[in-house]
Structure formats: C-alpha cells, structure tokens
Amino acid sequence: MAGTFAIILTLATFITAIFWFLEKFKWKPERQRKVEAVRQQTNGEVDGKVLAEVGKPKGWVESLASFFPVLFVVFVIRSFLLEPFQIPSGSMIQTLLIGDFIAVQKYSYGLRDPITNTVLISTGHPQRGEVAVFKHPNDSQLDLIKRVVGIPGDKIVYLVKEKKLVIYPACQSSDENCVGQQSMPLDLHYSDPEMSNWKEVHKNYRSNPSFYTSEQYASKGIAASNPLATLNMEIQKETLGNVTHDILTTQGTQEDISRFYHQNGQPIATWVVPEGHYFMMGDNRDNSGDSRYFGFVPEGNFVGKAVAIWMSFEKQPDEWPTGIRFNRIGSIH
C-alpha cells in the first residue's frame, strides 16, 4: 500500500478536480448567464460593481478549484515520474551518505497505481547492481534503499568470514555450463580491501553508530568526546552485473548469522531467490539491515530506481545539518 502522503495527495487531487470541473463547466457558466440576464433587464445601465458581485464565485470554491492544477502536476510527477527521498542511515555509505536527498525514478519498474502500487504498465524489472527504493517486506509504511544483489533464480551465498558474495545465476536454456539447476558463479571482480577514509563511531547515548571521515573525526574532536568505540573501516570494489561500486566493511566485526533469515531447504547464509522476488543488500555491509535478515523483497514492493542526488546536507542521524555538500549533487553510481 502507498504511504500516508501518497493517499492524502491522491484524495486532495481528486477532490479539487471535482471542484475545478464543476467551477469551469457548471458554476461559472451559470454565473455568466446571471450576469447577462441582469444586464438585459437593466438595458445595460447596471453598475459594474453589481455585475461583478453577481458574477463573483464563492471564495472557498475558487480556492479549492485553483489548487487543482498545481496538485495535479505534483501528483503526476510524484506518482509516475520522480519522487524525493532522504537518506536517514549509513547503510549505503559511501554510495549514499546520511543527509543525501535523492530522486527516485518511479517508472523504471513499471507505471504503478499510486495507492495500491500495482503495476499498470510494465516498463522494466530491477537489475542486479541497481540502487532501488522499496517497501520493507514486513512493514509497508517503511521505505528502504539498498542495492539489488540477487534477481529471481539466483543462488546467493554470503561468505561471512570473507564478507563477500558468491552468486550462482539461474540456468538459461542456452547456457552450456549449467550444473544441475545452477550456472557457474558470476565473476564479481572483488578488489583487494584497503583502509578507507571512514570511521565507525559508537556513542553511549545512541543505539546505532555514526560515521565520520578521518577529517571530520579529527576536526570535530570525536576522540576527545570519549566514544564507546571507534572502528576503522575497509573499502573495496565489487562488481554486480554491469555496475562496479564501493563496499565498506568494519574491521574486527563479524555478522551474527543466528539473526540471518533461514530459507527452508538451504544452509544458513545461503538463499535461492524465488520468482518475482529480489535479494537486497546495503553497501555498508556490516551496518545494513537487509535481505540477509528480513528475506526476499517482492517486486510489488519496489518504488523505483534511485538515479540522482539533488541535495546533500552534512549531518549525522537525529542531528541538525551543519553544511551543504555541493560536490555530491549529481548521478548515483
């Protein structure tokens, strides 16, 4: 189901549309006829102020009708073209940062009913490597943004110690390298991990960590504020489909596999993506609640493809912005 704002916008557009059409095709012509009738009865000698009063619409009717064109444009753009989203957490660092405002291309995965999110016209499907916004499979009011890791038919194996993926795509009829029902694993082109410019900082008054660049960490005096822990983060390149991107991992940490979603018939940390579903993961691998934990995302839950950053504020979760990152405005990779 759509969010509260989408429902309110749809209802407001529909209601103001009724008043706009009534005003344009019924009430305004009736007032014009009354004005003409008064003019004829007085042989055109009536005061202009009287005619203006006779032809004047009710204030609330005029206001409601005037809102419709603006609401209609907003409704079309937001429902079928582009929708703005804010990045509230660090699960996609360094592709997306806390405080980034992104534009989501709504029509990438089909033109959808703005209320039910049902696909009206199919225009495409999520592809491996794309960054997408979707509804949490267990909470339709919660929007998440992650990267598409697995598409229908993929077998996903997460190597917990190495913090890497192994993906076996589903067999195609033309694939001569199939073993059973799976192809040979994809070559994900992992680069060697290197020390990144990011630090993961745990503070005693927050349940989730903050993330700072080394320069921010030094300039803000984070070390002097006695955080509970400061952890270094490593960076490496990962290729999914035709997309090469950075992933971050935190030194000295390990995922708790007991919290992983356990698919029937598969060992822990292994999943086979069902038809019509996708496997999503964050680029900040040790700080992302994703399909490893909540399972597969139905295609009907997708909102759209993230295509651009249109504004970026320097901030941490639950803090006021301290500046604007103009250098981040542009496309998403």
Catalytic residue annotation:
91, 146
Q: What are phi and psi of 105, to 5 degrees?
A: -80, 105
Q: What are phi and psi of 232, to 5 degrees?
A: -80, 155
Task: Count the neighbouring beta carbons within 10 Å of the beta carbon of residue 16.
Answer: 20
For residues 200 and 215, the answer to whether their CB atoms sit within 8 Å is no
| Nearest-5° Cα angle at 274, 270 to 279 | 60
Of 115, 106, 101, the closest CA to residue 3 belongs to 115
For residues 316 and 98, the answer to whether their CB atoms sit within 8 Å is yes
Label the pairing between strands 330-331 and 131-136: unpaired
- How far apart CA 180 and CA 171 sit, in angstroms, is 8
For residues 248 and 282, the answer to whether their CB atoms sit within 8 Å is no
Of 329, 311, 332, 298, the closest CA to residue 131 belongs to 332
- How far apart CA 317 and CA 90 sit, in angstroms, is 9
